[in-house]
Structure 1
Amino acid sequence: MRIGKTIKIGIIDDNPLIIKSLDFALSSFDKPDFSVLFTLNSLTELGRLKNAIYEPDVIICDINMPKTTGIKGLQLLKKRFPNCMIIIHSDADDKFTIIEAIHAGAHGYMRKGLNNQELFYAILNVVEGCLYISPILTKKIFEIIEFQTYHYGALTPRESQIVDGITKGLSYKMIGFKLNISINTVREHIKRIYKKLNINSKGELLSMDKSINYAIA
């Protein structure tokens, strides 16, 4: 997109004060111009934007709102506006949420309370095709990569094979069959794996594996 033209913006947030603050900040810039096409209090209001005039270049959206939220909300936005850049603007700064949102198609992730200059910079970055994450949040991404890859590195080759089987959806019995070990041996390995990774369940293991893959993809 040529930056010299007006950049059309959509804002979605269930907090009227946030919407007002963003609208006011965007109106203070003149190069380039920002035009707020619409503001919504919920993703459930997307249905009323059927006219072709409601085709923004960028949508600034909270990820935690009533009824439709999170990754499901991102999917709805991408379906309705396939050519639009989506910037998540949220208080949620959990590292898993950030990584998952980017992997699901968000082009930027900003923490609420940012200054006007960062807002301006984030919009220009995503419009030019770059990924933008608030600097204060970028550190969290590297922390999860460093912490979890370190712990994965502590696994033995056999333990890594078992983790691979679990992440592929294999049962303990099937893992044992493939590795030519008993199901009780598989369970003993899993106990040691959980201890090394500082987790307590299969769900945590799958979440950890997914987060690392998201972060390095």
Structure 2
Amino acid sequence: MTETPIRVFLVDDHAVVRRGMRAFFDMLDDIEVLGEAGDGQAALDQLATMAATDELPDVVLMDLLMPRLDGIRATKAIKQRYPHVEVVALTSFSEAERVHVALEAGAAGYLLKDAEADQVGAAVRAANRGQVHLDPAVARKLTQALVAPQHTVTALTPREREILILVAAGKSNRDIADTLVISERTARTHVSNVLAKLGLASRTQAALWAIREGLATAP
């Protein structure tokens, strides 16, 4: 028996982009498109209707620059209302500042619109697993632009350093819990403590910091 396909919702103000993504996903057995919207507000309206019948998508592919309600604010609203729905940001811009804002809004990945089709599929699958997926060019740019926090790795306990290395490897809280034989709640608490001690805002920033400090290697 095959597994249930990952349910995806497309949000982009360009119909040709939505058609292209839908055509690509239609060729895959493990991903299906539930619906689409042309801006952030339309997406929120449709997701509210879907939530009422318990038919929310697993992953939303979200353009960042759109009329009415942009992708940043839409992403933040989705994560506040539907925490289990993952969002992958999609844009034609690669400025590090925009990436940070998207990730801090709750995006689980960041892709450029010229990404190869298999990169888009990989990002959706990673988000569905609770992992972060960044376009390689974006990851390099973020790593170069990351400002060093005031604290160093010496501020972390040995267990917190283990947690940081696992975060840098793209592990979800569940993966970390299984690896270290601890509860998922304890893993989540450790991750929060690591971010607080290093003065970082997201798991992605922590992963990039670990790579820059030589505690982990870039994917």
The aligned residue for residue 107 of structure 1 is 108
1:72 positional shift? 1.8
Whether the 8 Å contact between 1:85 and 1:127 is mirrored in structure 2 is yes
Q: Which moved more, 1:98-107 or 1:19-28?
A: 98-107
Q: What letter is aligned with 1:16?
A: A
Q: CA 1:213 to 1:70, structure 2 compared with 1: closer, same or farther past 3 Å?
A: farther
Structure 1's unaligned 5+ residue stretches are 153-211
1:14 aligns with 2:13: yes
1:216 shift after superposition: 4.0
Structure 2 residue corresponding to 1:43, chosen from 37, 40, 44: 40
Provide the C-alpha distance between the structure 1 equivalents of 2:97 and 2:58, rounded to a whole number of angstroms: 27
AA aligned to 1:38 is: G
Contact 1:8 1:57 in 2 (8 A): yes
Aligned-partner Cα distance in 1 for 2:87–2:69: 16
Give how far 1:82 is off: 2.3
CA 1:70/1:56 → structure 2, altered by over 3 Å: closer, same or farther? closer
Instruction: Name the Cα RMSD after superposition.
Output: 2.3
TM-score normalised over the length of structure 2: 0.63
Alignment partners' CA distance in 1, 2:200 and 2:94: 19
Displacement of 1:81 after TM fit?
2.9
Q: Which amino acid letter does the alignment assign opposite residue 42 of structure 1?
A: D
Asked whether 1:5 is paired with 2:4, we answer yes
Aligned to 1:29: 28
The percent of aligned pairs where both chains have the same amino acid is 21
Contact 1:38/1:54, CA 8 A, preserved across alignment: no
SS at match of 1:92: coil
- Structure 1 residue 35, shift from structure 2 partner: 1.7
Task: Find the aligned partners of 2:15 and 2:33 in 1 and give their Cα distance.
Answer: 15
In structure 1, what is the Cα distance between the partners aligned to 2:111 and 2:65?
13
Unaligned runs of 5+ in 2: 151-198, 208-219
| Residue of structure 1 in register with 2:181 after alignment | none
CA distance in 2, matches of 1:7, 1:28: 13
Equivalences, count: 152
Q: 1:117, 1:48 → 2: CA distance?
A: 27
Select the structure of larger CA radius of gyration: 1
CA-CA distance at 1:54 after TM superposition: 4.0
**Distance in 2 between the 1:58 and 1:25 partners?**
16
Encode CA deviations 1:159-208: one digit per residue, 9 max, x unaligned.
xxxxxxxxxxxxxxxxxxxxxxxxxxxxxxxxxxxxxxxxxxxxxxxxxx
> Residue 41 of structure 2 contacts residue 74 of structure 2 at CA under 8 Å; is this kept in 1?
no
